Chains A and B, each alone.
Chain A
Amino acid sequence: MPGGASGALAGFSDLTANTESPLFRLAESHMSSAETVTTNCVITAEFLKELAAVVGPARLLSSKDELLVYECDGYVVEKSVPDVVVFPENAAEVVAIVTACGKHRIPFVPRGAGTSLAGGCLPVGGGVMIAMTKMRQIVDINLRDRYAVVEPGVVNVNLTRALAGTGFHYAPDPSSQGACTLGGNVATNSGGPHTLKYGVTVNHVLGVEFVSPQGELIQIGGPCGRGNGFDLPGLFVGSEGTFGVVTKIWVRITRNPAAYRTMLAIFDSVDDTTQAISNIIGAGIVPAALEMMDKGIVAALEQAFHFGFPLDAEAVLLIEVDGLEVAVDAEAETITRLCKDSGAREVRLSQTEKERALLWKCRKQAFGAIGRLSPSYCTQDGVVPRTKVPEILRFIAEVSKRHDIRIVNVFHAGDGNLHPILLFDERNAEQVKRVMLASDEILGKCIDLGGSVTGEHGIGVEKISFMNRLFTDEDLTVMEDVRKAFNPDGRCSPGKLLPTAGACGMEHIEKQHPGRKAAM
């Protein structure tokens, strides 16, 4: 688990052992829904033997101590220990594992690095966790045809590292890229700072090989794209592990920009900052990245990295433009002018590669610095139309005041993708309640402003209760039908993404125990 995300919450560490727990009830009710074949997750010695025959004893965990590590991901509010964790090394082993699960009617969940911030790999109801981290080969890199073939356990940054010096890179760059896997990225349709210009994961996935919940090895799309059929890779990306286990991915690789200019614009008021964002996008400029950090987060970053951020500024914008050497200066100048017109006190241009790298390190490791601000924190992932950023930030400030909860902001401003981080102490139950109320109000306001409750972290188990505020009953029925086309009995990642039977147990927990989660 990445920094700050671990640590059991009081009262929750024994959840999984307790059959009376809401989580257990959730799993049980989920499993007894009409189409679900699993009635109980009973792990027999015979089943374990079958799994051991596939992966060998060294790649199978079943003792309580070992399993505890896998009780949650970056979302630590809800926990559930899997009954078994297996580490397949190839697609054939995944087929055998999934087939055995089918035979014994055991639920299973794929897991990458476990950096999900939405409980995506929570093994709801126990069962088998299929950890994909041993499938980490970069199978092929083809620069001329601009694609790479990777196994799902490849850590995001390792692909870009493998491409270093070639003039190409893999564009989606989640802030967790040093840890998260490409399989996890495909499952969650990850974004990152540079997705403003380059798009999210789905825009870079050409094909996927996966093991269906029935145990078939299926390829959709491939190096030449999807061919003549439906865009099944497009549908698969973002399915949060509920369609099957990804065993191979064909990704597009992107030319490195010839030049970039990285700027830090410094503002004395949040309103001026958000106005600048709105003015830049409104002027039809799409920078490579446009990230905002407010005073609270800047103070923590300065303590951690000594970059030289101005501590008296109310907010800063990290802006990068890239492209042709002949064009970037003009774009940087226009942005500087727009920032100054919006009231920026100063706009600094990164003078050296070292300075630029440090600036990005600060941004991408912002989560690590948050621990300095508060014992616990909860990161939200709302989205609003880009021009509503000023309005939502004013609302967040107002909510913060009203509930007396400190909130800091570090987020993908150019996309309107917010990450308000609510700071609190989880030992203070009353404060915890206020954090929940504040989070709820912020996400509700995102919906009211025409946005969404998740821009990149996914629904997982965390945001299921928002689904029927975003979608109609009919929408959700259609989505449920699509889920059934891939995963008819719901044994693959049960209790995720859709508010099917049983999800209601969850809000109860959500309301009372916000997680101490990694920010981004």
Chain B
Amino acid sequence: MTNSSANDSGQQLLMPASTAEVVELLRAAVGSGSRLSTNRVTAAGTNSAPDSVRRVDLQKMNEVVDYPARDMTVTVQAGMAVSELTKILAEENQQLPIDEFDPLLSVGALVAGDIAGPRQYGYGTLRDYVIGIEAVDGQGRIFHAGGRVVKNVAGYDLCRLMVGSRGSLGILTQLTFKLKPLPEQTTLRSFRFDDAADFESALTKLNVSAANPVLLDFNFASSPPAQQPTDDSDCVQKDIPYALHIGVEGAPEACSWQIEQLRNDCAGGEEVTSDGSLDLSVDHHCRNAGYGWQDNEVRIRTFPSKLVAVATELGARGYSTQGHAGNGILFVQDRTGDTDVRTVCRDIVSRHGGTVSEWTVDHPAKNPDPLSAKLRSTFDPRSIFTA
């Protein structure tokens, strides 16, 4: 029998210990007409699931199923914490290069949320790493896709479909990832630009840089200063209009050589040096930059070439932005309190190209396009999974 207990809000928590128990839960839900959610109750209070929804937590399914390190693949149960997986892989000098920032985040949630951080510029995202899945759909059917080998085109690619599906198509129970070696060294450099044109010119040069950056992040503090963000989670002081953070990796001599290239590319800016109180490591940056999620934080995905224009326009309207410059991703913080940040973003993005989304609002399961709706009803015809 599946363990269950009540959480703080009195909501019933179901803790299956095996895929068979997950199936059992699904069958019971189908039978009783109840609904299930894999969403954690987060501090941010994102889980607004009503009481009738029973929450499934896979923390008991936290085993390594198979780690043939020399094949550079790993298969784990979906309830394992990403931080735990990171540790296990590090022992073999390997990594799943997806920036993890929440010690409690499970591998299943990582994949279902398609979490991606600064190093997506150099390493890509989870769609590039998930090579096999096991999941249980809304009818209690266990399904697999992919396998344990790095190259495999047998059958439809349901792995990709499950990445970013946010618990709306099935409960992931097991995942196989392809891995990368840990780099010998990583180095971060930050540059400041007072002027949009200089910043844009540096980004254009970096696009064809002789160096090979793995991360290319920025932040842009809006003016007037009164509306600048107050938190100092990032490593660069907030009075810098445009700050660019660039990470490189490799052998020590490769890193130093690349930094010289970056200095040339960023000649229009000024290198920010650490006074010792600032942590200029890639690790620190990946753990902090971009992850101070606020309610209503809006994400814009635009063309990298339009990033400076979008950030500058938002800045002029009092919004600070930060994000992944190399990927054209901006996170917009609504500190003005008096405008509808979404409307402003939509307006700006409609002129430059791209999409605007909010984590809580823009759930893929709410996507109205007919194809997504059909897939949703294929996997979850009774709407067991809350969106």
Nearest-neighbour CB distance to chain B for A397, whole angstroms, equals 21
Nearest-neighbour CB distance to chain B for A506, whole angstroms, equals 16
Q: Does A20 sit at the interface, judged by CB under 8 A?
A: no
Nearest-neighbour CB distance to chain B for A186, whole angstroms, equals 12
**Docked-complex contact B212 and A324, CB < 8 angstroms:** yes
Residues of chain A in range 142-201 having any CB-CB distance to chain B below 8 Å: 142-146, 167, 188-189, 191, 195, 199-200
Chain B residues, Cβ within 8 Å of A142: 303, 305
Nearest-neighbour CB distance to chain B for A323, whole angstroms, equals 7
A457 nearest CB neighbor, chain B only = B153
**Docked-complex contact A229 and B301, CB < 8 angstroms:** no
Residues of chain B in range 165-218 having any CB-CB distance to chain A below 8 Å: 165, 169, 180-182, 204, 207-208, 210-212
**Segment from A295-303, A308-316, A476-484 that makes contact with B:** A476-484
Chain A residues, Cβ within 8 Å of B304: 144-146
**Docked-complex contact B157 and A202, CB < 8 angstroms:** yes
Q: Does A65 sit at the interface, judged by CB under 8 A?
A: no
A450 to B253, CA, bound (A): 39
**Docked-complex contact A281 and B158, CB < 8 angstroms:** no
**Docked-complex contact A144 and B156, CB < 8 angstroms:** no
Q: Does A351 sit at the interface, judged by CB under 8 A?
A: no
A324 nearest CB neighbor, chain B only = B254
**Docked-complex contact A479 and B253, CB < 8 angstroms:** no
Q: Does B137 sit at the interface, judged by CB under 8 A?
A: yes
Q: Does B127 sit at the interface, judged by CB under 8 A?
A: yes
**Segment from B8-16, B32-40, B332-340, B371-379 that makes contact with A:** B371-379
**Docked-complex contact A385 and B149, CB < 8 angstroms:** yes
Chain A residue total in the interface (Cβ 8 A) = 83
Q: Which of A191, A230, A282, A475 is close to B151, meaning CB atoms less than 8 Å apart? A: A191
Chain A residues, Cβ within 8 Å of B375: 230, 482, 485
Chain A residues, Cβ within 8 Å of B363: 228
**Docked-complex contact B124 and A235, CB < 8 angstroms:** no
Nearest-neighbour CB distance to chain B for A418, whole angstroms, equals 10
Nearest-neighbour CB distance to chain A for B207, whole angstroms, equals 6
| A235-B158 contact in complex given A203-B124, A452-B147, C-beta closer than 8 Å | yes
Q: Does A441 sit at the interface, judged by CB under 8 A?
A: no
| A497-B155 contact in complex given A229-B372, A475-B144, A478-B137, C-beta closer than 8 Å | yes
| A284-B94 contact in complex given A145-B328, A188-B153, C-beta closer than 8 Å | yes
Digitize B81-94: 1 where CB-to-A-CB distance is under 8 Å, 0 elsewhere: 00000000000011
A199 to B211, CA, bound (A): 21
A286 to B95, CA, bound (A): 13
Chain B residue total in the interface (Cβ 8 A) = 73
Nearest-neighbour CB distance to chain A for B89, whole angstroms, equals 11
Digitize B309-320: 1 where CB-to-A-CB distance is under 8 Å, 0 elsewhere: 000000000000
**Docked-complex contact B303 and A145, CB < 8 angstroms:** yes
**Docked-complex contact B212 and A417, CB < 8 angstroms:** no
Q: Which of B68, B72, B151, B371 is close to A218, meaning CB atoms less than 8 Å apart? A: B371
Q: Does B270 sit at the interface, judged by CB under 8 A?
A: no
B143 nearest CB neighbor, chain A only = A478
Q: Does B288 sit at the interface, judged by CB under 8 A?
A: no
Q: Which of A452, A479, A497, A498 has the most CB of B within 10 A?
A: A452
**Docked-complex contact A229 and B70, CB < 8 angstroms:** no
Digitize A313-336: 1 where CB-to-B-CB distance is under 8 Å, 0 elsewhere: 000000000011011001000000
**Docked-complex contact B160 and A231, CB < 8 angstroms:** yes
Nearest-neighbour CB distance to chain B for A443, whole angstroms, equals 11
Chain B residues, Cβ within 8 Å of A195: 151
A480 nearest CB neighbor, chain B only = B156
**Docked-complex contact A386 and B150, CB < 8 angstroms:** yes
A185 to B160, CA, bound (A): 17
A383 to B150, CA, bound (A): 9
B126 nearest CB neighbor, chain A only = A231
**Docked-complex contact A234 and B93, CB < 8 angstroms:** no
Chain A residues, Cβ within 8 Å of B94: 284
Residues of chain A in range 95-128 having any CB-CB distance to chain B below 8 Å: none
Q: Does A13 sit at the interface, judged by CB under 8 A?
A: no
A237 nearest CB neighbor, chain B only = B157
Nearest-neighbour CB distance to chain B for A331, whole angstroms, equals 9
| A478-B151 contact in complex given A203-B128, A228-B364, A387-B71, C-beta closer than 8 Å | no
A228 to B359, CA, bound (A): 9
**Docked-complex contact B155 and A459, CB < 8 angstroms:** yes
| A227-B157 contact in complex given A218-B371, A478-B143, C-beta closer than 8 Å | no
**Docked-complex contact B164 and A223, CB < 8 angstroms:** no
**Docked-complex contact A230 and B164, CB < 8 angstroms:** yes
| A144-B181 contact in complex given A323-B212, A416-B151, A474-B141, C-beta closer than 8 Å | no
| A199-B163 contact in complex given A238-B156, A386-B70, A479-B156, C-beta closer than 8 Å | no
Q: Does B28 sit at the interface, judged by CB under 8 A?
A: no
**Segment from B56-64, B231-239, B289-297, B350-358 that makes contact with A:** B350-358
Nearest-neighbour CB distance to chain A for B70, whole angstroms, equals 4
Chain A residues, Cβ within 8 Å of B164: 226, 230-231
A145 to B147, CA, bound (A): 33
Q: Does A239 sit at the interface, judged by CB under 8 A?
A: yes
| A454-B142 contact in complex given A224-B303, A227-B301, A230-B372, C-beta closer than 8 Å | no
Q: Does B281 sit at the interface, judged by CB under 8 A?
A: no
Chain B residues, Cβ within 8 Å of A234: 127, 157, 159-161, 163
Q: Which of B149, B155, B251, B355 is close to A475, meaning CB atoms less than 8 Å apart? A: B155
Q: Does B113 sit at the interface, judged by CB under 8 A?
A: no
**Docked-complex contact B158 and A478, CB < 8 angstroms:** yes
Digitize A230-252: 1 where CB-to-B-CB distance is under 8 Å, 0 elsewhere: 11101101110000000000000
A417 to B149, CA, bound (A): 9
Chain B residues, Cβ within 8 Å of A232: 161, 371-372
**Docked-complex contact B71 and A286, CB < 8 angstroms:** no
**Docked-complex contact A326 and B257, CB < 8 angstroms:** yes
A214 nearest CB neighbor, chain B only = B370
Q: Does B275 sit at the interface, judged by CB under 8 A?
A: no
Q: Which of B153, B303, B364 has the most CB of A within 10 A?
A: B153
Chain B residues, Cβ within 8 Å of A167: 208
Q: Does B51 sit at the interface, judged by CB under 8 A?
A: no
15 A–B contacts, CB within 8 A, in A order: A144-B204, A144-B304, A144-B305, A167-B208, A191-B151, A203-B127, A223-B353, A224-B301, A224-B303, A227-B357, A230-B364, A232-B161, A324-B254, A467-B155, A485-B371
List 12 other contacts, CB 8 Å, given A230-B372, A459-B155: A228-B367, A230-B161, A231-B114, A326-B254, A327-B251, A383-B151, A385-B71, A450-B149, A452-B151, A470-B147, A482-B156, A484-B378
Q: Could you list which residues of chain A lie within 8 angstroms of chain B, going by C-beta atoms?
A: 142-146, 167, 188-189, 191, 195, 199-200, 202-203, 218, 220, 223-232, 234-235, 237-239, 255, 258, 278, 281-282, 284-286, 323-324, 326-327, 330, 383-387, 412, 415-417, 450-459, 463, 466-467, 470-472, 474-479, 481-486, 497-498
8 interchain residue pairs of minimum CB distance: A234-B160, A284-B181, A282-B70, A455-B151, A229-B367, A228-B362, A478-B143, A485-B374
